[in-house]
């Protein structure tokens, strides 16, 4: 307990040292920023720089390693910006998050297995001389009520959270989540603004308790400056005090992104959050609102807190995250997940990963069971996509690559589990892979990638129009087509 208290004290010191000053919007104030936002109507987002990986010559580097996770924030943030006729920053585009936003018809794991991989090879639309290789992963389906949960809602109620797309949407999200909890779960609510308040002590989510929780959510109001340090201190203390052995102990942060949490590179903060995660208390991060989004901090918080990161831009997304995908967001199935792909240097001339640019690891880290990697939730699809160039004359069914996924059970500490697969030169395109190629090409165009080849939005739209029955069966995939159409009309991505 002394170590835990020391960690909290260190985090508080970081908050205080780097906290923003109270500004005219009642939240944190960045010199020149609020005036710029009012004048131009544009947002000053803070993204981690994404440096795209190049084509690797297989003869020189046949192995590729990276952390696996399933965040979806990037897709909904891009959707919001395109719908608002805002130019998407190239550095904000993380291709894997766009692809992983959707569900795919992958084989489910067998009983007793955590994950199942499926592999696909299909033509590359933006370079007819290349192929796309996709590794699709589905995790086991664990119901949200299968494990007792101890949740602490940590809610930013500073002045910058005022508005229908912020505090009102937070309320909608929380209510949806609460309605899907069982009587074995417990909820506490902590808010932070000018000060910190425990709005609700840890309360069972039974029939009586749920009504009490919902009443407290209804009473939430935004106003004041931001005192995040005390908020996270209080939230982790409550989660620790009410922790459930072999249960799901988690802090759920909801903020507009104006969340000053330490040094600018997130290094010391990441270490503190990682230590908290080792105590069995995970962190999930949900962003709301636009205009002061600190994406780089929010994403790092979730990554090092053994959690996930989603951005809620409307009520439909709130329903998706807290109703349809609730188990995937709040129940970890594969901990410290990482992938290793070894290409056959006799058949594959070169390869290029499409995504996971910020999540590379070394072969040594891949082989080290103590490497802190990504987390994947229940009943979710995760993808790893490569563009590959083959040597001429490759025979059918010739081995192209071997795939190895390593991970731990959510409650395991030191034992890696392994899932293996391989890919032969035997193209097997599906409607899913056609759609994935559309999302990947969309990402290349938004990034204005130097590797985009002949990629363009009109080509994406044409292929989507050929998938009409497929799109009609999934409203989120159908919505993607309308986003592409909106981006074309904006003429910002020609």
The separation between CA 315 and the C-alpha centre of its own chain, rounded to angstroms, equals 18
**348: which residues sit within 8 A by CB, 6+ positions away?**
58, 388, 389, 390, 391, 400, 401
Both tokens assigned to 324: 């349809």
The pLDDT assigned to 195 comes to 83
Q: Distances from the Cα of 216 to the Cαs of 67, 138, 174, in angstroms?
A: 38, 37, 11
Q: What is the pLDDT along the chain (494 residues), one digit of tens a residue?
A: 444 444 444 444 333 333 333 332 233 322 232 333 333 334 445 666 788 999 999 999 999 999 999 999 999 999 999 999 999 988 889 999 999 999 999 999 998 899 999 999 999 999 999 999 999 999 999 988 888 999 999 999 988 888 888 999 999 999 999 999 999 999 999 998 878 899 999 999 999 999 999 999 999 998 866 655 567 778 989 999 999 988 899 999 998 866 544 333 445 556 667 777 777 888 999 988 876 666 777 787 888 888 899 999 899 999 999 998 988 989 999 999 999 999 999 999 999 999 999 999 999 999 999 898 999 999 999 999 999 999 999 999 999 999 999 999 877 666 789 999 999 999 999 999 999 999 999 999 999 999 999 999 999 999 999 999 999 999 999 999 999 999 999 999 97
The pLDDT assigned to 12 comes to 41
The separation between CA 45 and the C-alpha centre of its own chain, rounded to angstroms, equals 17
Owner of token pair 């939230």: 235
**38: which residues sit within 8 A by CB, 6+ positions away?**
none
The pLDDT assigned to 30 comes to 29
Owner of token pair 């009409």: 468
Residue spans per domain, the chain: 2-42+145-330, 56-71+106-142+333-431
The separation between CA 121 and the C-alpha centre of its own chain, rounded to angstroms, equals 25
The pLDDT assigned to 11 comes to 41
The pLDDT assigned to 261 comes to 40
State the Cα–Cα distance between residues 161 and 255, nearest whole angstrom: 8
Instruction: Tell me which residue of 122, 105, 113 sits closest to 425, measured CA to CA.
Output: 122
Q: Distances from the Cα of 132 to the Cαs of 6, 104, 129, 171, 385, in angstroms?
A: 49, 17, 10, 42, 7
Secondary structure (DSSP) of 120-135: EEEE-TT-TT-EEEEE
Owner of token pair 């040594």: 364
Q: Are 400 and 339 in contact, with CB atoms under 8 Å apart?
A: no
Secondary structure (DSSP) of 238-307: HHHHT--TTSEEEEEEEE-S----SSTT-HHHHHHHHHHHHTTEEEEEEEE-SSS--HHHHHHHHHHTT-
State the Cα–Cα distance between residues 476 and 453, nearest whole angstrom: 27
State the CATH class of domain 56-71+106-142+333-431. mainly beta
Which CATH architecture is the domain 2-42+145-330 placed in? 3-Layer(aba) Sandwich (3.40)
State the Cα–Cα distance between residues 330 and 410, nearest whole angstrom: 12
């Amino acid at each position: 307990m002394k170590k835990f208290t020391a960690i909290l004290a260190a985090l508080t010191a970081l908050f205080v040292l780097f906290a923003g000053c109270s500004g005219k919007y009642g939240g944190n104030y960045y010199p020149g920023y609020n005036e710029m936002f009012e004048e131009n109507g544009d947002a000053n987002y803070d993204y981690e720089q994404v440096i795209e990986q190049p084509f690797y010559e297989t003869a020189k580097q046949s192995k590729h390693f990276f952390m696996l996770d399933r965040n979806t924030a990037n897709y909904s943030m891009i959707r919001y910006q395109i719908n608002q006729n805002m130019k998407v920053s190239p550095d904000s585009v993380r291709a894997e998050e766009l692809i992983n936003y959707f569900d795919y018809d992958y084989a489910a794991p067998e009983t007793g297995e955590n994950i199942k991989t499926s592999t696909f090879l299909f033509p590359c639309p933006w370079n007819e001389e290349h192929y796309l290789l996709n590794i699709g992963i589905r995790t086991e389906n664990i119901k949200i009520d299968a494990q007792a949960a101890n949740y602490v809602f940590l809610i930013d109620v500073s002045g910058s959270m005022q508005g229908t797309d912020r505090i009102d949407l937070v309320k909608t999200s929380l209510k949806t989540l609460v309605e899907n909890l069982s009587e074995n779960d417990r909820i506490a609510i902590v808010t932070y603004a000018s000060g910190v308040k425990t709005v609700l002590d840890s309360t069972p989510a039974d029939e009586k308790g749920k009504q009490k929780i919902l009443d407290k959510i209804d009473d939430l109001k935004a106003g004041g400056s931001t005192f995040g340090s005390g908020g996270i201190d209080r939230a982790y203390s409550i989660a620790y005090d009410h922790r459930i052995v072999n249960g799901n102990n988690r802090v759920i942060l909801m903020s507009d992104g104006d969340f000053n949490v330490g040094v600018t590179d997130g290094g010391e903060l990441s270490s503190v959050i990682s230590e908290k995660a080792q105590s069995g208390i995970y962190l999930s991060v949900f962003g709301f609102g636009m205009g002061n989004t600190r994406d780089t901090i929010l994403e790092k918080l979730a990554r090092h807190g053994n959690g996930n990161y989603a951005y809620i831009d409307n009520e439909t997304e709130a329903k998706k995250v807290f109703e349809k995908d609730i188990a995937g967001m709040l129940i970890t199935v594969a901990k410290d997940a990482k992938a290793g792909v070894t290409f056959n240097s006799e058949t594959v001339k070169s390869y290029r990963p499409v995504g996971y640019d910020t999540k590379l690891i070394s072969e040594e880290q891949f082989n080290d069971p103590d490497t802190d990697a990504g987390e994947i939730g229940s009943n979710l699809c995760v993808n790893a996509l490569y563009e590959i160039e083959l040597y001429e004359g490759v025979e059918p069914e010739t081995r192209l690559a071997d795939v190895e996924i390593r991970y731990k059970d959510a409650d395991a500490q030191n034992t890696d589990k392994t899932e293996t697969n391989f890919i032969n030169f035997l193209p097997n395109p599906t409607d899913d892979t056609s759609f994935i190629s559309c999302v990947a090409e969309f990402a290349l165009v938004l990034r204005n990638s130097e590797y985009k080849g002949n990629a363009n939005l009109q080509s994406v739209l044409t292929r989507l129009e050929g998938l009409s029955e497929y799109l009609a069966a999934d409203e989120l995939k159908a919505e993607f087509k309308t986003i592409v159409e909106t981006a074309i009309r904006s003429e910002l991505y020609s």
